[in-house]
Structure formats: C-alpha cells, structure tokens
Amino acid sequence: MDIANAIDPKMIDAIIRFGLEVLIILIKIVVVLAIGLLHVAYATYFERKVIGHMQVRLGPMRVGPHGLLQPFADGIKLFFKEDIIPANADKVVFYIAPIIFMAASMVNLSVIPFSYSFTIADFKISPVIADINIGLLFIFAMAGIGVYGIFIAGWASNSKYAFLGGLRSAAQVISYEIAMGLSLVGVMIMAGSLNLTDIVRAQEESVFGMFAIPQIVGFVVFTIAAVAETNRTPFDMPEAESELVAGYFTEYSGFRFAEFFLGEYIAMIIMASMATICFLGGWTLPWYILSVLPFLKMVPGIVWFLMKAYAFFFFYYWIRATLPRYRYDQVMAIGWKILIPVALANILVTGLVKIIITTLHGA
C-alpha cells in the first residue's frame, strides 16, 4: 500500500494549513517585536529631541545626521558596559528581576491589534499576534506581574534607595492600576467586549466615532493613571532622581539596566496603544471626518494608529518637560481620593445611560 494513500489528503491539507498558520504567527511575532524594539529605540530619540527643543537646546546631534543613530550608539554602549552586581545582593533574584519586568511588558505587545485584518491567498490575517477575548484583562494582568519585577529588583539590590524605590513603585502601580481598570470599565460597557479589536469596531460603528468623546472622564482618568503606571513625570516617585538617586534600579548597570529601560518604554508603547485603541478609535477615523474628507479612506489604518499613538507619546514628553514632581503621599492621595471615585462615578453614569438606551430601543 502506498504511504501517500495511507493518510487522508484532507489531513495533509489540514497539516499544511496548520503549519502555515504557525509560520504566520511566527512572522507576526518577529515583525511586531522588531518594530516594537525599533520604536523603543526611537522613542528615546524622539523624547530627547522633543524635550531638547522645549528646553531651548538641540538634543542629540552628534551620532549620525541630527543624531539619528544615537539610539544605536546608546544600545551598543549599554551592551558592552560592565555588569556590576552588589556584593550583598540576592544574586538569583537580582538576575531575574529585570527579565520579569521586561518580559511582562513585552508580552503585552501580543494582544495589541494594529490595523484592519486583510487576506493573503485565502488566509485571513488579522494584525495581532493573539486575538484573545480578554485582551484588556490580559494587559492588566501583565502590568500586575511587571510590578513584581520592580519590587524584587528593589529588594534584591540590598540598597536602601532601591528598596524605597521598589516600595513606592509597588504601592503606586497597584493603586493606579485600580484607577486605570475602573476608567476602562466605561469603555467595556459601551463596547460590550474585552477584545481590543471589538472595542475598535464598536467605536467605528458608534455615533461619536471614538470613545474619547462620551467617555471623556474615563479618558482623562486613564491618561493620568497611564502616566503614573509607567512611572513617568510627574508621578516618577519610584525613580525620583533627586530623592532616591534612581529608585529601584539604582544598583543595576549595563545590560540589566537596559532591560528595565526597555521594559519601561515598551510599557509606554502599550499605554499609548491602549489609549489609541480604547479611546481614540484605534486605526479608524470617525465617520464624520470621513464623510467630509472621503479621500482619507485610502490611507491605511496603521497610519492613523501610529499617529494617534505618537500624539500620546508626545503628550508624555510634553508633561515631562513642563511639570514638577508630586510627593509620594500626594500621588497616593490623587489616586485613591480623586481618580478612583471619579472613575466609579463614570461607571455609574455610563451604566445608567446604557440601560436607558437599551430600554428605549427595546420599547
């Protein structure tokens, strides 16, 4: 008997199809990671340039034209730096901490959708690595794991500054995660889904075009919480340079420091993407803009996605150049006494409106 006949041709088809799908996922992972890391590199460049020009100076200018190769120079420098481990550090934990932190924020890239899905041959490709139904929850969960990285980094360094930084960070990130989660509940109610692609689709179909308009309160709360969650000015308590030297990564050097750095910037990218997806309509434009300027339909969705994310990035840098730093207790007070109650009120109002609308529709 022929071996080829022993297996059902449908089976072979299925196996090939499965192999191709795995291949597609692998390609997606490579593309997303490469683009994500490139964005991290140029986010630092963009940050230094933007803040430089806000502060009447030029920013990096030496490496390459207008300092364009500066991120690579920095990367190479960090890679070849001596890796110093404090004598009294808890070595194993000290090694693991930056990996946890970086991995936790990198994994988030897998659930972020970037554009419309498209078809090559008869494969429907959606530009997201894992189109899971609980994308939003997944991101929160991973942010929660990231805190472990920060906290055990602070603990394992066996340094008082790092310890204080780690403590502050744990308290701050956990508090603001609540505010951020609550601020997104409004979006969940309006979209009726936790899948990020569905949330964007819901915005495309809604009257407002983007949830930032009906959910303006949620958007403001989310923006503030996102800044606090990524430990950026004015909430950069954990690494407050003038108080705690560098906070939880005081004792880290060389590539381990780079891992924290990378994780932090990827977290920023995630936050910018979340804001884009949940509030600014993702890769879509509101229908009223499209009806006025119909030629904009020809622009691929990824362009709008990136532009919105970059705008959010710019906002990050802008406030960094403008605002002083809050004190630790003030940060906590804002989180618990202002943001959480406001977010709760927002959920209540959103829920009531939703009920009223459904009842009216039903009637």
Partner 1 sequence: MEQSEKIFETRELNVSMGPQHPATHGVLRLVLDLDGETIVKVTPYVGYLHRGIEKLGESLSYFQALPLTDRMDYVSAMSNNIGYVVAVEKLFGIEVPERAKYIRTIVGEMSRVSNHLLWLATHALDIGAMTVFLYCFRDREWILDLFEMICGARLTVTYPRIGGVRNDVPQEFLDSLWKFTDEFEARIVEYETLIDQNRIWLLRTKGIGIISGEEAVNWGMTGPTLRGSGVSYDIRKHMPYDAYDKVEFDVPIGSEGDVYDRYRCRMLEMRESIKILRQCIEQLPAGPVMATAPKFTLQPKDAMMPITHPVNEVAYVVDAKACKGCGMCLRACPAKAIAGEKKQAHKIDQALCLQCATCFVSCKFKALKIIPGGKGLSEDKLNEAAAMPMPDEIKKAGEHLVAQFEFIKKGPKVPEGDLYVATEVPKGELGFYFVSDGSGKPYRMRVRAPSFIHAGVLPRLCVGHLVADVISNIGTIDIVLGECDR
User: Is 324 or 362 the residue whose CB approaches partner 1 more closely?
Assistant: 324
Q: Examine residue 328 and tell whether it contacts partner 1 (CB under 8 A).
A: yes
Within 13 A of 352's CA, how many CA atoms are on the CB side?
Answer: 5
Residue 123's DSSP bridge partners are 120
Q: Examine residue 53 and tell whether it contacts partner 1 (CB under 8 A).
A: no
Report the candidate in 316, 339, 332, 337 with the shortest Cα–Cα distance to residue 233. 316
Considering only 37, 51, 78, 132, the residue that binds partner 1 (CB under 8 A) is: 51
In the complex, the smallest distance separating the C-beta of residue 254 from partner 1, rounded to whole angstroms, is: 20
In the complex, the smallest distance separating the C-beta of residue 320 from partner 1, rounded to whole angstroms, is: 7
Considering only 330, 337, 352, 355, the residue that binds partner 1 (CB under 8 A) is: 330
**Part of the chain binding partner 1 (CB under 8 A), chosen from 28-36, 231-239, 256-264, 283-291:** 231-239
Q: Examine residue 320 and tell whether it contacts partner 1 (CB under 8 A).
A: yes
**Part of the chain binding partner 1 (CB under 8 A), chosen from 85-93, 141-149, 182-190, 321-329:** 321-329
Considering only 62, 329, 359, 363, the residue that binds partner 1 (CB under 8 A) is: 329
Q: How far apart are CA 263 and CA 103, in angstroms?
A: 7
Q: Classify residue 323 as left (phi > 0), alpha (psi -120 to 50) or beta.
A: beta
**Size, binding site for partner 1 by CB under 8 A:** 28
Q: What angle do CA 226, 68, 64 make, to 5 degrees?
A: 160
In the complex, the smallest distance separating the C-beta of residue 160 from partner 1, rounded to whole angstroms, is: 5
Any idea what DSSP says for residue 295? G
Q: What is the DSSP string of 299-317?
A: S-HHHHHHHHHHHHHHHHH
User: Is 23 or 323 the residue whose CB approaches partner 1 more closely?
Assistant: 323
User: Is 63 or 321 the residue whose CB approaches partner 1 more closely?
Assistant: 321
Q: How far apart are CA 177 and CA 190, in angstroms?
A: 20
Q: Examine residue 325 and tell whether it contacts partner 1 (CB under 8 A).
A: yes
Residue 92 corresponds to which tokens in the numbers above?
């194993």
Q: How far apart are CA 307 and CA 313, in angstroms?
A: 10
H or E element at residue 120? strand 118-120
Interacting residue ranges for partner 1, rule: CB under 8 A: 51, 54-57, 160-161, 164, 233-234, 236, 240-245, 320-330
